[in-house]
Chains A and B, each alone.
Chain A
């Protein structure tokens, strides 16, 4: 019996159907297979943990409403499969995401080395102003650590993003990551509103967005769509 999906069903339905919120943010958790993306999400959304490894099939998501800065923020958190074979499906969800949690496993060098590849994936498939946080998971497994905190920190600085070490198992920093990401997106929101004041006023622009149009697509003279 899979403990992960059992009791959660009514909970998400309650959360998902809840229309009492101000903002809706879509977040995406990405990273190599088995770094703990699903566990991380389950810890945050349901406060549950299981050490059994069950690979995510393609994609999954959970909904959680948080209260931050006197605003109710509904988070739709997408959990993606790290495996290459689902890449076509997962990348399709990059474009809707406002924030990314890029995760590696501190006991796994390979997953750390792939961070740059994931950043490229984000740059390629997401909207330009999506926010990213780098997360080194499994920091409870100090004995098996191969990536020092400093290395993670350094890489994050190099990439110009924020960095956390977390443990889904011990519930270390899990909430902090999401809260920080929500804060960053909120900051970005007020910035973008102030800088795009004219666009908003014109309003017309809004209606031009349809599915299948990307960030620059509408203005690209080279594009035949």
Chain B
């Protein structure tokens, strides 16, 4: 038992014999009295408010107790890892035993679909065909309808639930059960395997047939029939699909050395889900093993500009590494073919977009459902790239072009499910609107800020004046959602929209998902300089557990404001941590006559890891002057109360100690309270 406990409970016997002493509960009267004392008698908060440099170390007995608990937890963890291992193995077996192509035969059992035999269902997740025996029907709570899945996908979902992978967004560590067949996994090897690729069933082709037989004995309700045909299955299916898609056009992107197919045509060999048929669908698919595969169905879509295509691919190429763990599978729906919208998946420049949209307009393949009414609705499904960081949310607005006044009225209704920017899980969003391309006329408008919400109701009309009808053809509306903050505006999402969808005096109700930021050149020219007028600072943060201190590296500043009459400043940076019991303060050297100074200096603040959550790092940049007071150039504050990138930088530093975290932040003009300078 600890000293503290003894103080709390064992009143009036300060010299009592240690440890074995019988403990007395504080009586009710005592508790009542203490509860009325305004100062905390709780040990925790009392200590929380005093910043001690070192917490009392744990004594032997405490260490022993904790060690016993950890041991117990480890035992449980080992069991858990083995259990997850069994789940993984079960799923892998299922995948290995899948023999069908999923096109005109069942993906699992390989039964052919025909006119006479049963026809297949399409798995909701993998979109492969599956017979009714090998599929399961489940109720999706978000779709509010029951959906059909093949047993592999259903099992995958079960596995994600059972293993806890749904929570951690990835499988936890697991141990595969011991195998009779040692060349497969080895004995209880701690495994982090390349995993369950999309095309795992094609891997089965390399397995020996007896092995497959052996595994199928486990718990599968399918029989492996012919394994001799499997080795060529993958190739076969490719051939078949290219035959079936008669209009197939091929693009090669040599730089990426990835096979890329673009299959186009109305004659989809697979029965199309009624929803898709109605809307017309273009689905882009990536296959990690094959490279990008572009499929368009139910829409005959011609693309002359293979450049545009290439660009698209390169964009993916750039992201390929960062998202290699993912399988982007995104779908663009449109009810109307005359709609062309830019999403992050389709990063064409404006001209590319125009040509693309013009072509897709001319096609008119899919059945139309929308009548020419005064109100039309578009929707773009989000892409899964942004899902990496969580969806960025959506925005609803109405647009109308007033041909008499030559103006565009943008009625911003609301945004939904925006990204949380501060630690409370909320944000202070506002929108900036701009007409692209920039230059001719300055079109930049903003909405008011709606505070402390992720679902702001803007209900605000913004009007762009002096837009001619011919402008509509070549201009786009660019909306960015920003988080309002004293320390700069943080990006929350953006949307671009081609204005040629507008017809004079017709209200368009639009709904779309926000995208990740797509960096453009001359950001300042697009959005105005105010965000960056005070320059930026590049710093590194690292909490060293060994030194028990926060290491702040000031690397450099860029675009500082000139303060001296020679057109330069003489900048230096002051750093402090608030609140800090040790009152540590540092400053860098002065870089004379320099607006982009490089410091490369490191400073160590002695502090406890647990205190960091309540401390604020304040950096202020000053212009050194002799004879008069130094000029203030800008400041940066990092803490758990920060927002956006600054918050992430700070949290990352806490969550991943002993790693250097670099961040480039804008300086703000707000001066911190004088006690820090």
Contacts and interface: CB of A to CB of B under 8 A. Distances in A.
Given A108-B35, A114-B48, A201 B170 contact: no
B656 A214 contact: yes
Contact of B41 (A110, A144, A212, A225): A110
A176 interface: no
A69 to B, nearest CB: 12
B440 to A, nearest CB: 36
A58 B62 contact: yes
Nearest to B82: A19
Given A84-B55, A144-B31, A209-B171, A203 B192 contact: no
Contacts of B171: 206-207, 209
Interface string A49-88: 0011111011111010000000000001000001111011
A84 B48 contact: yes
A111 B42 contact: yes
Interface centre among B5, B48, B167, B652 (most CB of A within 10 A): B167
A35 to B, nearest CB: 8
Chain A residues touching B, range: 35 or more
Interface string A5-27: 00000000000110100111100
A100 to B, nearest CB: 13
Interface in B27-83: 28, 31-32, 35-36, 38, 40-45, 47-48, 55-56, 58, 62, 65-66, 69, 72-73, 75-76, 79-80, 83
Contact of A91 (B28, B324, B610): B610
Given A24-B80, A82-B43, A204-B326, A196 B169 contact: yes
A206 B170 contact: yes
B125 A201 contact: yes
Contacts of A129: 167
Contacts of B164: 23-25, 98
A61 B72 contact: yes
A16 B72 CA distance: 9
Contact of A23 (B161, B196, B651): B161
Given A82-B44, A110-B41, A195 B142 contact: yes
Interface string B310-332: 00000000000010111111100
Interface string A200-222: 11111111111110111111101
A211 B326 CA distance: 20
B4 interface: yes
A212 B657 CA distance: 10
Given A91-B610, A108-B35, A197 B143 contact: no
A148 interface: no
Contacts of A88: 55, 608-610
A120 B647 CA distance: 12
Given A144-B31, A204-B195, A205-B169, A32 B42 contact: yes
B190 to A, nearest CB: 11
A137 interface: no
A207 B170 contact: yes
Contact of A217 (B73, B166, B656): B656
Given A55-B5, A205-B326, A206-B170, A123 B425 contact: yes
B237 interface: no
B244 interface: no
Contacts of B614: 117, 120
Contacts of B172: 209
Contacts of B69: 58-61
Contacts of B76: 16, 63, 76
Nearest to B142: A194
Interface string A27-58: 00000111100000000000000011111011
Contacts of B424: 123, 159
Given A53-B26, A82-B43, A193-B160, A203 B142 contact: no
A57 B633 CA distance: 49
A83 B43 CA distance: 6
B195 A52 contact: no
A73 B237 CA distance: 42
A52 B8 CA distance: 12
Nearest to B328: A198
A57 B61 CA distance: 10
B45 A189 contact: no
Contacts of B655: 95, 124-125, 214, 217
Contacts of A205: 169-170, 325-326
A71 B199 CA distance: 31
Nearest to A205: B325
A55 B4 contact: yes
B79 A17 contact: yes
Interface string B142-175: 1100000000010011001110111111111100
Contact of B162 (A22, A113, A117, A194): A22
Interface string B279-318: 0000000001000000000000000000000000000000
Contacts of B23: 52-54
B2 interface: yes
Contacts of A35: 42
Contacts of B26: 53
Interface stretch (B103-111, B381-389, B487-495): B381-389
Contacts of B157: 193, 200
A193 B149 CA distance: 14
Given A124-B651, A214-B656, A107 B31 contact: yes
A84 to B, nearest CB: 4
A19 B79 contact: yes
Contacts of B663: 222
B1 A55 contact: yes
Contact of A127 (B8, B167, B389): B167
Contact of B196 (A59, A192, A206): A206
B441 interface: no
A209 B160 CA distance: 13
Interface in A107-156: 107-111, 113-114, 117, 120-121, 123-125, 127-129, 143-144, 146
Contacts of B5: 53-55
Contacts of A52: 23, 25
Contacts of B48: 84, 114, 117
Contacts of A22: 161-162
B427 interface: no
B9 interface: yes
B654 A124 contact: yes
A202 B5 CA distance: 52
B613 A217 contact: no
Interface in A151-203: 159-160, 189-203
A57 B19 CA distance: 14
A216 B329 contact: no
A198 B327 contact: yes
B153 A120 contact: no
A145 to B, nearest CB: 9
A83 B326 CA distance: 42
B233 interface: no
Nearest to B33: A144
A120 B25 CA distance: 32
B183 to A, nearest CB: 20
B197 A203 contact: yes
Interface in B528-584: none
Contacts of B329: 198, 201
Contacts of B640: 120, 123-124
Given A34-B8, A217-B652, 17 more contacts: A57-B66, A88-B55, A114-B44, A123-B640, A124-B640, A125-B655, A129-B167, A143-B32, A196-B387, A201-B153, A203-B327, A208-B325, A209-B165, A216-B652, A222-B652, A223-B661, A225-B656
24 contacts: A16-B72, A16-B75, A32-B42, A33-B43, A35-B42, A53-B5, A53-B23, A53-B26, A57-B65, A60-B69, A98-B164, A107-B35, A109-B35, A123-B423, A159-B424, A198-B327, A199-B326, A200-B125, A200-B165, A202-B288, A214-B652, A218-B325, A219-B389, A225-B659
List the 4 shortest-distance A-B pairs measured between CB atoms, nearest first.
Answer: A202-B327, A209-B170, A206-B171, A203-B196
